[in-house]
Chain A
Amino acid sequence: MSSHLDALESQSIFILREAYSRFSKLGMLWSLGKDSNVMIWLARKAFLGRVPFPVMHLDTGLEFPETYAFRERFTKEWKLDLIADACPPIEQTDPTLPSGSRLAARKSLGLKQALERYAFDGIIAGIRRDEQSTRAKERVFSPRGDDGAWDFRDQPPEFWDHYNTDFPPGTHVRIHPLLQWTEVDIWRYIQREGIPVVPLYFARNGKRFRSLGEEGITLPIDSDAATIADIIAELETTKAPERAGRTMDHEAEDSFERLRASGYM
C-alpha cells in the first residue's frame, strides 16, 4: 500500500464493515468535530456512498453557532439520517462533579437516553488512543454494561483483527474505528480528501480551537495556523496536549494524588 494514510483508512473501513456485519442496530456518534467528520467520510467509503445507519449528535444546545450551521448543511449534503435529541438538563447530573464535568455528564445521559430510546446494540465513536491517557487503553470493540460502564480492568483480549463481537444480553458495544489515528493523521487525511470542518479550527486574531466542544467550556489556543497546512506544521512541533483547552479534563484533583490513593507506592 502506498501510504500510512491509506493503511489507516483501510483498517478503519475494515472495522466499520465488521461492525455493520456483526450488529443489527448500529448508531454513529457525530460530535461535529474533525474526527467524527473523518469517521463519516470513512463510513461513506466503506458503504459506497451512503451511511447505512443513523448518526447521532448529543445536543446540549450549547454548541457554537458555526457548529450548528455545519450540522444543518452537511446533514443534507451527506444525506445523513440524523438523530439530534436534546440531552437531559444539567440538574439530572451528579451535583458533586465539577461544573465542566457536569456539562460533559449531560452527554453521557444523552447517550444513555438514546440507547434506551433506539435500542442500539453498537455505538460507533471517533475516539483516538493519542488523545488522552485512558483512551490509550481502549479496545476497538469495547463492551459496556447495562449502565454504560467501562470495566477497563477486565477487558477481553483483542488481537489479529479478531474483535469481540459476541456479547451477553444487556451489554452494548462501543466501536472505535479511529483508535489508531493520531491528531496529525486526522489533519493530513482531511487535507488529502478535502473533508469539510467547522471553521473554528482555523486561527482568527491569533486564536483557534484545537479541540472543539461546547461554548464556555472549550477555550481556544494561541495560534496563527489559518490553513490545514499551518495546523499540520504546528502539530509537528507542539508539545502541548490536544485537549488542553477542554476545561473538564483539568479540573479534577491532582493525578499523582489519585495514583497514590489507589494503592500505588
Chain B
Amino acid sequence: MSPRIKDAVPPLPIVIVGHVDHGKSTLIGRLLHETGSLADGKLDELKGQSDRRRVDFEWSFVMDALQIERDQGITLDTTRIWLKTRKRPYVIIDAPGHKEFLRNMVTGAASADAAVLVVDAVQGLSEQTRRHAYLLSLLGVAQVVVAVNKMDRLDWAEAGFRATAEAVSGYLAGIGIEPLAVVPLSAREGDNLVRTSANLPWWQGPTLTEALDQVTPRPQPVDLPLRFPVQDVYRDGDRRILVGRIETGRLRVGDRVRFQPTGREASVAGFETWRGSTPIAAGAGQSVALTLDDDLFVERGHVAGHPGAAQHIGSRIAVRLFWLDRDPLAAGDRVTVRLGTASYGAVVDKVVRVIDVASLGTTGTEQVAGGDVAEVILRSHGAMAFDTFADNPLTGRGVLVRGHRVAGGFVIEGAAAASPNVTAVAQSVEPAEVHRRNGHTGGVLWLTGLSGAGKSTLAMALRRRLFEAGWQVYTLDGDNLRHGLCGDLGFSDADRSENIRRVAEAAKLFADAGTVAIVSLISPRRADRDAARAIVGDGFREVFIDASVEVCAGRDPKGLYRRAFAGELPGFTGVSAPYEAPEAPDLTVPTATLPLEDCLDLLEREVTAGFGVERRKAGRLG
C-alpha cells in the first residue's frame, strides 16, 4: 500500500526516454508494481490474460494495457502514469522511442522536471539515445538519472556496468549534462528499482527510486528579471486591462515597466481579480490582469520588463533548434517565429551547421531534416524582442511554425549582428495605429506576367480606382524604376535578381508605411518572386497577369516582340528566355478573356480581402 501523502504535494513530472528496445515500458511496468501503484487485481488480470494467450507475461504489458483500454495504438504518443514513492508522488511521462515519433517525445519531455535515460547495459548508447539526450539539454531538462538496464544480461558484472556508465557519462558531459546518478538495474527482474539487489552486491549507490527522490523540483524563476508577455487586452468600458502570465521575476503595483519591442513605458496602476482580495504584487508563474496609469498602445506579444532590464531588440537571432517536421528546413524558407505570445514572420537566413548527434561534430549538410538539431540564423521582418537562453531559460526560447503546425523549437544563443537588417531602433508609431487611421493595412500586390500582358495598364488603373475609394496606394513600375533606383542594373540573371530584390525592399517600405504598393514587374523567375515574398512577409500577394505569348505578341505595344522574334533582343522573356508562371498565385487575372473592368474588379476584391482591416471581435467583455 502506498503511504499517505501530505496535503497537495504536486507530483514531480519525470520523463522516461531512450532507444525503443532498451526497456522503457518494462521499466515503467515493473516500477508501478514495485511501488505498489497498480490498481488492485491488475497484475493478476494481466497474468491471466497471458496464460490464456499462452505467452509469457511481460512487464511491458502493464503499460500497454494501461494505454490500450480505449484504443488500439502502440506507444505512439506520450502517456502519463501516476506513481508514488516513500518520498512523494510522481507523474511518469512515457515518451515513444521510435524515431518518427520524436515530436511526441519532445511534447512529453518538455514538461518534465527530470528524465530517466534508459540505456541497454549490453548495447550501450544508441544513436536514438544520444538524440534524446541532446534534446533533453535543449529542452532544459538538466536533471538526468541514467538507468543502465538489463544487467542480468551482463551476469550482473561490475566491469561491464562501469564501461557502459563511463561511455554514457562522457557523452552527457559533452552536451552539458551531469547525471544525478548512473544506476545499474534489471527492470525485468525488478533488481535495484526500489529495493537493493542481492545480485548487485558491489553496488553502493542508490536504487532508481532513491535516485529519483534526489531530484529537486524546478523552482519558480522569481529571481530573474521581470518578463510579462501580454496575452490579450480586454476592455471594460474605457479601461484597458492587460492579461498574461508573468514568466519570470516579480511585478508590484506602482512599478514602472517598459514594453518591448515598442519601448513605451508606463506604471502599473493595479491588479484586477474577479474574486478574493486584489494583490499588490505577483510573481513568476502567475496569470494576472492589470491596468496601467497611461493609455499606451499595448497589444498581444509586447513584453513588459523593468526599464534598464528589458528585453533585447533585433531582427536577426542565432538559435540552436530542433526540427520536427517531415519536410526539411533550409535557408530561404519562410517560417513564423513565436516568442512567448509574440508572433513574427521570418525567414531562415542561414543554416550555420547541422549537428551530428553521435560525434557532436558537423554533418556538413545544409538542410535540417526532421529530427535534426542545428545552429541557424533567423531573420524577422519586424524587430523582435528577445532574451538569450543563457540569461533567461523561459523567455530565451521559442518555436517555429510552418504550414499549420508547430514544426520546431529553439533556444536563442544571441543576436546575429553584422547585417543590414538589424533594426536597433523601434518605430515610434505602431503599424496597428497606422492601420486604424488608414482603415487598411499596408501590403504589396505583386503583378507578374509577360511583357504586354497588361501589368502596367492594370496597375495604373487600379491605383486610380483605389485612390478614389480612399486607399493609400502607390504603383512601383519596373520600367520606371530602372531609370532611378535600379539604373545601374542590366539584364543578366544576377542583375535581374538584384532588380527584383530592390523593388521588393522598396515595396516593403511602402507597405511598412501603411501604403498598398502595386508592383508591376515581369519577374520571370519563381525563385526571385519567392525571395520577394520572403522580404515583404505577410502582406505579399502574388498576382499572375495571365496572357499567352501569342496574345502579347499580337498586342506588342512597344514593338518588342517583333524585335525579339527577329533575333534582335536576346534574353527576351517568353521568346528567347523562359517565363516561369506562378504555381499557386494568390490571384490569376486572365487579360486575354476578361474585359479591363472585370480584371479591375478581381484585383480590387483581392486588395480588399488582403488589406482591408478586419473588424476586431466586438464587445470583448462588456
Contacts and interface: CB of A to CB of B under 8 A. Distances in A.
Interface of A: 1, 3-7, 9-11, 13-14, 17-18, 20-21, 24, 44-50, 52, 129-130, 132-134, 136-137, 139, 152-153, 155-160, 162, 164, 166-168, 182, 185, 188, 236-237, 239-241, 249, 252, 254-256, 258-264
Contacts of B39: 239-241
Given A155-B77, A160-B399, A162-B398, A133 B68 contact: yes
A21 B232 contact: yes
Contacts of A241: 39
Given A46-B287, A52-B620, A156 B274 contact: no
B64 interface: yes
Interface string B209-236: 0000000000010000000000110101
A47 B287 CA distance: 11
Nearest to B246: A10
Contacts of B99: none
8 contacts: A14-B231, A45-B273, A50-B621, A130-B82, A156-B405, A157-B409, A256-B61, A259-B64
Interface of B: 1, 4-5, 7-11, 38-40, 46, 49, 53, 61, 64-74, 76-82, 103-104, 106-107, 110-111, 139, 220, 231-232, 234, 236, 241, 243-245, 272-275, 283-287, 289, 300, 324, 338, 397-399, 401, 404-406, 409, 617, 620-621
With most chain A CB atoms within 10 A of its CB, the pick from B9, B231, B324 is B231
Nearest to B66: A133
Contacts of B71: 133-134, 152
A159 B405 CA distance: 12
A156 B283 contact: no
A137 B10 contact: no
A160 B397 CA distance: 9
Contacts of A259: 64-65, 68, 72
Given A45-B275, A50-B621, A256-B65, A134 B70 contact: yes
A185 to B, nearest CB: 8
B245 to A, nearest CB: 5
B578 to A, nearest CB: 33
B405 A164 contact: yes
Given A21-B232, A261-B72, A137 B79 contact: yes
Contacts of B236: 48
Contacts of A164: 404-406
B46 to A, nearest CB: 7
B70 A14 contact: no
Contact of B72 (A156, A166, A167, A258): A258
Contacts, number: 175
Given A47-B234, A256-B65, A155 B104 contact: yes
A103 to B, nearest CB: 16
Given A255-B68, A262-B72, A152 B232 contact: no
A6 B283 CA distance: 12
B406 A162 contact: yes
B245 A14 contact: yes
Contacts of B78: 136-137
Nearest to B79: A136
Nearest to B614: A24
B287 A158 contact: no
B406 A49 contact: no
A58 to B, nearest CB: 19
B4 A17 contact: no
Given A45-B273, A237-B4, A182 B82 contact: yes
A157 B107 contact: yes
Given A13-B287, A17-B287, A45-B273, A156 B406 contact: yes
B274 A133 contact: no
A11 B245 CA distance: 9
A160 to B, nearest CB: 6
Contacts of A160: 110, 397-399, 409
Given A252-B70, A259-B68, 19 more contacts: A1-B284, A7-B10, A7-B285, A17-B231, A24-B617, A130-B80, A133-B71, A137-B73, A159-B107, A159-B110, A159-B139, A160-B397, A160-B409, A182-B11, A240-B40, A249-B69, A256-B53, A262-B72, A264-B74
Contacts of B4: 236-237
A157 B106 CA distance: 7
Given A133-B68, A136-B79, A236-B5, A254 B49 contact: yes
B77 A137 contact: yes
Contacts of A130: 80, 82
Contacts of B72: 258-259, 261-262
A152 B406 contact: no
Contacts of B68: 133, 255-256, 258-259
B232 A159 contact: no
Nearest to B397: A160
A264 B71 CA distance: 13
Given A139-B107, A157-B106, A166-B404, A188 B8 contact: yes
Contacts of A153: 73, 76
Given A48-B241, A156-B406, A239-B40, A21 B300 contact: yes
